[in-house]
Structure 1
Amino acid sequence: MNIWKISILNLKSKPISTFLSIFILSLSIALLLGVQQLKTSFKNQIDTNLGKIDLVIGAKGSPLQLVLASVLHLDNPTGNISYDEAKNISKNSLVKLSVPISYGDNYKGYRIIGTTNEYTSFYNAELENGRKVKKVMEVVLGNTVSKQLNLKIGDTFLSSHGYVENDIDVHSDKFTVVGILKPTQKVIDRLIIANLESFWKLHNHEGKDEDESHTEDHQKAHQEES
């Protein structure tokens, strides 16, 4: 009698133990594959949301928190840098494109950011309806924001301070929706995009050189073209 027959007979003699062993082994393999799939999916999602951003510059603090806050919009900002400092960085010969952002307000839980029209290029986002921001207190909505809040071109709303919806610290100036972006399956779908001047107005800044609040600087490092 060879070892295979002995093994089979042993398995047949202890059916419950055999079943449990096979079940636990199968469960372990499924769990391992599930974790690996989740890891791969999470990595792909992160890479997608990073878009074409090569470098993020902000105030001293946690690098991870800086990326989570200013790129993925999942955390609170580490601190502020002045607009003048952001402009000086953008003049560096190694910087191909510099896009500053200001943030700190929300509408019904969706973050509002003040930036330039170049911001959408990081995510290859295109307009589905309307136009780009041209004036103070105009906004372009990410596709998810538009659908979830049922906002359309021409609608107006009041923003509130912070990243959580509240009825206490509400600004008196109304935003007007002028554009809606096509869905991208990226973080920009969940953002409300205004210009920097809108944030300076909301936070009582008289000029952009005086802005010391909620400013981060996204830098796209210079890449040599072959």
Structure 2
Amino acid sequence: MITGMGLCSPIGNDLETVTAALQSGTGGIVAVPEWPQRYQMGTGVAGLVSGVEFRDYPRRKVRTMGRVALLAAYAGERAIADAGLEREQLSDGRIGLAYGSTHGSSAETEAYCREVFKADNLEGISGSSFLKFMSHTCAANLAEFFAIRGRVQPTCSACTSGSQAIGAGYEAVAHGLADLMIVGGAEEAHFIPAGVFDVMFAASGKYNDRPSATPRPFDAARDGVVIGEGAGTLVLEEYERAR
């Protein structure tokens, strides 16, 4: 059963705010003029997370994290607190984690590639760079951040990465492989994933000057997807343990 929930999103960073926004039809899409201006993209809108702070996180915990993993950690903290768990409990070998993202941090991928191609060598590249943009960055970093000692399962299946992680967590609990699983998914907004849809003419561009009017998937005037960022985390527990 679900015993804890946490999130951060373009329409709020707690359950109450997000619920109110959904009920009132409030959107979180904003203009990102840099994308068309600098990268010659057709899309210039995105859903961006604001109002979250990572400054209190220990440096040794976050030096291997890009934004996507930081968003995941933020949502994870709130789900764990919502479930009434103490940090010390998380190192129980019967508590595990399944977490997904489409890929690692796009911003860190960009920074790495620009540095390498500019210098034409690896001089000056940080040893933590790969850990920020590897496809399993969320699962690996969260396991370290929360000192998870049970099973850790990363998922990377494009748009279904987060839901796949939830399913993997459910299966682990249902089959007795874990008593509790922390599960979810995260993404960060960046021109690289937005550009994937843009070059396929699948990204919204007609409403760059009216971002609140898109996306509109079931409308005759729809014109494509809008890239967003955020994280959502659930705590799944075996029923008798949760009682």
Indicate the TM-score class for this superposition, using the shorter chain for normalisation. under 0.3
For normalisation by structure 2, the TM-score amounts to 0.26
TM-score (norm 1): 0.27
Relative CO higher for 1 or 2, CA cutoff 8 Å, sep ≥ 6? 2
Give the number of the structure whose alpha-carbon radius of gyration is greater. 1
